[in-house]
């Protein structure tokens, strides 16, 4: 009889994307159920998944809301217990976020085997709390900041987990940057207001000197304003909000400006797109900065810090990349070498072998 796996995800694209990759890896060998909250339903094509939705308690530092949070948290645990029992779940995989906590507690109470996933170079707070209960935690490295030493043996290193569709695009030949600059701007699943407000001057300056097309991810409320900006400045563009199959845009890009979510950087790196990382300065425990530094140490990207951001510096950097391609070509080569061993079959076998351990 096939084992039944529950994959629990938070409500952001950064949680949903790797969770959906796990789903793709497991659906041929296990009966898989996807669990997320209402926010998470915005980031997937629900026709492709067997799923359930449970609302999880929103955390708050407001002392007047603590009793309500506690009650909702308890209700989430009870709902999770019934969901696990009614679906005869054998294994839980938690991909981070506060939603993982009540469902993992329910799994622990029911004696269900728990696996966690940490794609960042800093251990997330939910995973830090849950690490004591899990059998294994999937990571990309053993060098995880804030990881408790007494649980280091639980780390199970895998190659960067990617959605299956991306492997269709990894052999597409990109246009040379000298012919046309295809600039991809990725603000994350929610879009980045900082990018909408602070990259315009640099884009205009580049467009004055070179042929350019901009693919710009933004929140839905900013789409009209951005389209107007690009049209007024006669800059070829495609503006989009969250797109499940963002690979259609990544494959066209020859350089990117991006936040530093783990999934986004993995996808850019796999498709061999050198990028300028501008980590979100309010990311918890500075995990986006550490993600970017991981690639910078391998000479695969450039980093500009939001705290000291200056549009003139960005403009100069972009012009240097375009006009003196030595650094750019070096980073492309390093990205190619870094992900050359990332094969769907190898990752698939490793994950399945781990879940089938006694």
Per residue, the 3-state secondary structure of 191-239, as one string, reads CCHHHHHHCHHHHHHHHHHCCEEEEEECCHHHHHHHHHHHHHCCCEEEE
Residue 185 parent element (H or E): strand 181-186
Give residue 119's pLDDT.
Answer: 95
Give residue 317's pLDDT.
Answer: 97
Three-state secondary structure call for residue 126: helix
Structural contact between residues 277 and 184, judged by C-beta atoms closer than 8 angstroms = no
Give residue 270's pLDDT.
Answer: 94
Give residue 236's pLDDT.
Answer: 97
What span, in angstroms and rounded, lies between the C-alpha atoms of 203 and 205? 5
**Token output for 143:** 């060098």
What span, in angstroms and rounded, lies between the C-alpha atoms of 197 and 278? 14
Residue 253's alpha-carbon distances to 12, 175, 208, 229, 235, in angstroms, are: 24, 8, 19, 20, 15
Q: Computed from CA positions of residues 151, 156, 158, 162, in that sequence, does the dihedral angle turn out positive or negative?
A: negative
What span, in angstroms and rounded, lies between the C-alpha atoms of 266 and 279? 14
Give residue 44's pLDDT.
Answer: 79
Structural contact between residues 247 and 256, judged by C-beta atoms closer than 8 angstroms = no
Give residue 210's pLDDT.
Answer: 94
Give residue 242's pLDDT.
Answer: 73
Rg from Cα positions in the chain: 21
Give residue 167's pLDDT.
Answer: 92
Closest CA to 178 of 322, 329, 332: 322
Structural contact between residues 206 and 318, judged by C-beta atoms closer than 8 angstroms = yes
Give residue 179's pLDDT.
Answer: 72
Burial of 234 (0-12, 13-18, 19+ CB in 10 A): exposed
Structural contact between residues 281 and 192, judged by C-beta atoms closer than 8 angstroms = no
Give residue 189's pLDDT.
Answer: 58
Reading the chain (358 residues) residue by residue, the pLDDT tens digits are: 899 999 999 777 788 899 999 999 999 999 999 998 877 777 778 888 999 988 766 665 566 667 777 888 889 999 999 999 999 999 999 998 888 899 999 999 999 999 999 999 999 999 999 999 999 999 999 999 999 999 999 999 999 999 999 998 877 776 667 778 999 999 875 557 899 999 999 999 999 999 999 999 988 787 889 999 999 999 999 998 876 678 989 999 999 999 999 999 999 999 999 999 999 998 888 999 999 999 999 999 999 999 999 999 999 999 999 998 899 999 999 999 988 889 999 999 999 999 998 6
What span, in angstroms and rounded, lies between the C-alpha atoms of 340 and 273? 14
List the domains of the chain with CATH numbers: 4-161+342-355 (3.40.50.2000), 167-338 (3.40.50.2000)
């Amino acid at each position: 009889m096939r084992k039944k796996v529950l994959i629990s995800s938070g409500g952001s694209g950064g949680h949903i994307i790797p969770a959906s990759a796990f789903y793709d890896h497991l659906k041929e060998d296990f009966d898989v159920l996807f669990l997320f909250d209402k926010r998470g339903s915005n980031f997937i094509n629900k026709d492709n998944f067997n799923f359930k939705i449970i609302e999880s308690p929103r955390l708050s530092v407001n002392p007047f809301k603590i009793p309500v949070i506690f009650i909702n948290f308890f209700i989430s645990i009870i709902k999770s217990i019934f969901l696990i029992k009614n679906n005869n779940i054998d294994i839980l995989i938690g991909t981070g976020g506060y939603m993982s906590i009540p469902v993992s507690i329910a799994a622990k109470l029911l004696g269900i085997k728990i696996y966690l996933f940490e794609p960042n170079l800093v251990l997330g707070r939910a995973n830090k709390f849950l690490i004591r209960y899990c059998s294994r935690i999937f990571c990309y490295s053993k060098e995880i900041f804030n990881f408790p030493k007494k649980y280091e043996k639980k780390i199970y290193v895998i190659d960067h987990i990617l959605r299956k569709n991306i492997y269709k695009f990894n052999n597409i030949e990109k246009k040379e940057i000298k012919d046309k600059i295809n600039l991809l701007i990725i603000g994350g699943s929610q879009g980045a207001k900082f990018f909408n407000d602070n990259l315009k001057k640099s884009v205009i300056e580049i467009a004055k000197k070179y042929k350019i097309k901009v693919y710009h991810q933004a929140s839905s409320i900013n789409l009209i304003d951005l389209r107007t900006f690009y049209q007024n400045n006669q800059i070829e563009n495609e503006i989009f909000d969250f797109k499940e199959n963002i690979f259609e845009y990544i494959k066209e890009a020859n350089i990117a400006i991006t936040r530093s979510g783990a999934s986004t950087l993995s996808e850019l790196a796999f498709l061999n797109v050198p990028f300028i990382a501008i980590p979100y300065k309010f990311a918890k425990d500075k995990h986006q900065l550490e993600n970017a530094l991981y690639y910078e140490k391998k000479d695969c990207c450039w980093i500009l810090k939001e705290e000291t951001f200056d549009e003139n510096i960005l403009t100069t950097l972009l012009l240097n990349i375009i006009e003196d391609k030595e650094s750019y070509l070096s980073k492309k080569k390093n990205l190619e070498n870094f992900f050359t061993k990332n094969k769907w079959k190898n990752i698939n076998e490793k994950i399945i072998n781990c879940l089938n351990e006694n």
